[in-house]
Copies of this chain bind each other. A is one copy, B any other.
Amino acid sequence: MASRQFEPPSGTRDFLAGALRTREHVFAQIRGVFERYGFEPLQTPAFERLETLTGKYGDEGDKLIFKILRRGEHEATGEADLALRYDMTVPLARVVAGYGSRLPTPYKRYAMGPVWRADRPGRGRFREFAQCDVDVVGSASPLADAEVVCALTDALDAVGLREYRVLVNSRQALSGLLDVYGVPVELGGGVLITLDKLDKLSPDKVAAELVDARSLAPDIAQALVGDLTAPDAVDRMQTALKDSEAGRAGLEEIGRLLELASPKVGEDRITFTPSLVRGLDYYTGVIFEVVAEGMPGSIASGGRYDGLISALGGPDVPACGGSLGVERIIGLLGDDEGAAHRIDVAATVIAEDTASEVMGFAARLRDAGLRTEVYLAASRKLAKQLKWAADRKARFALIYGASDKEAGVITVRDMDSGEQSEVPADELAAYLTGRCAPSR
Q: A36-B371, A68-B67, A128-B46 are in contact. Are A139 and B377 (CB under 8 A)?
A: yes
Provide the residues of chain B in CB contact with A30, threshold 8 Å.
none
A399 to chain B, nearest CB (A): 16
Q: A13-B45, A259-B356 are in contact. Are A6 and B68 (CB under 8 A)?
A: no
- Asked whether, in the complex, the Cβ of B366 is within 8 Å of the Cβ of A154, the reply is yes
CA distance A5 to B95 in the complex (A): 10
Looking at chain A's contact residues, the main secondary structure is mixed
Chain copies in the assembly?
2
CA distance A91 to B13 in the complex (A): 12
CA distance A149 to B41 in the complex (A): 33
CA distance A72 to B9 in the complex (A): 17
A416 to chain B, nearest CB (A): 18
Determine whether A340 belongs to the interface, using a CB cutoff of 8 Å to chain B: no
- Asked whether, in the complex, the Cβ of B372 is within 8 Å of the Cβ of A38, the reply is yes
- Asked whether, in the complex, the Cβ of B141 is within 8 Å of the Cβ of A376, the reply is yes
CA distance A313 to B4 in the complex (A): 13
The segment from A75-83, A161-169, A285-293 that touches chain B is: A75-83
Provide the residues of chain B in CB contact with A260, threshold 8 Å.
355-356, 359
- Asked whether, in the complex, the Cβ of A66 is within 8 Å of the Cβ of B82, the reply is yes
Q: Which 10 interchain pairs have the tightest Cβ spacing? A: A78-B78, A6-B98, A38-B373, A12-B45, A263-B360, A17-B40, A139-B376, A264-B363, A15-B43, A36-B366
Which residues 32-63 in A have Cβ within 8 Å of B in the complex? Answer: 32-33, 35-38, 40-49, 51-52, 63
A153 to chain B, nearest CB (A): 11
A102 to chain B, nearest CB (A): 8
CA distance A136 to B376 in the complex (A): 9
Determine whether A228 belongs to the interface, using a CB cutoff of 8 Å to chain B: no
Closest to A67 in B: B69
Q: A36-B366, A98-B2 are in contact. Are A147 and B41 (CB under 8 A)?
A: no
Which residues 360-394 in A have Cβ within 8 Å of B in the complex? Answer: 360, 363, 366, 369-378, 391-392
Provide the residues of chain B in CB contact with A67, threshold 8 Å.
68-69, 71, 75
- Asked whether, in the complex, the Cβ of A15 is within 8 Å of the Cβ of B42, the reply is yes
A33 to chain B, nearest CB (A): 8
- Asked whether, in the complex, the Cβ of B6 is within 8 Å of the Cβ of A38, the reply is no
Which of B42, B45, B375 is close to A20, meaning CB atoms less than 8 Å apart? Answer: B42
CA distance A184 to B213 in the complex (A): 82
Which of B32, B36, B52, B357 is close to A372, meaning CB atoms less than 8 Å apart? Answer: B36
Closest to A72 in B: B63
- Asked whether, in the complex, the Cβ of A376 is within 8 Å of the Cβ of B147, the reply is yes
Determine whether A307 belongs to the interface, using a CB cutoff of 8 Å to chain B: no
Bin chain A's interface residue count: 35 or more
Max chain B C-beta neighbours (<10 A), residue from A46, A262, A375: A46
A435 to chain B, nearest CB (A): 17
- Asked whether, in the complex, the Cβ of B343 is within 8 Å of the Cβ of A98, the reply is no
CA distance A372 to B75 in the complex (A): 50
CA distance A41 to B8 in the complex (A): 17
- Asked whether, in the complex, the Cβ of B82 is within 8 Å of the Cβ of A261, the reply is no
Closest to A96 in B: B6
- Asked whether, in the complex, the Cβ of A68 is within 8 Å of the Cβ of B68, the reply is yes
- Asked whether, in the complex, the Cβ of B150 is within 8 Å of the Cβ of A363, the reply is yes
Determine whether A105 belongs to the interface, using a CB cutoff of 8 Å to chain B: yes
Determine whether A16 belongs to the interface, using a CB cutoff of 8 Å to chain B: yes
Closest to A259 in B: B356
CA distance A52 to B38 in the complex (A): 43
A369 to chain B, nearest CB (A): 7
20 further contact pairs, Cβ within 8 A, besides A14-B91, A71-B118: A2-B98, A3-B98, A8-B48, A9-B45, A16-B95, A16-B99, A35-B371, A66-B82, A67-B68, A76-B78, A77-B78, A106-B377, A108-B373, A139-B378, A140-B378, A143-B359, A143-B375, A150-B359, A261-B359, A264-B359
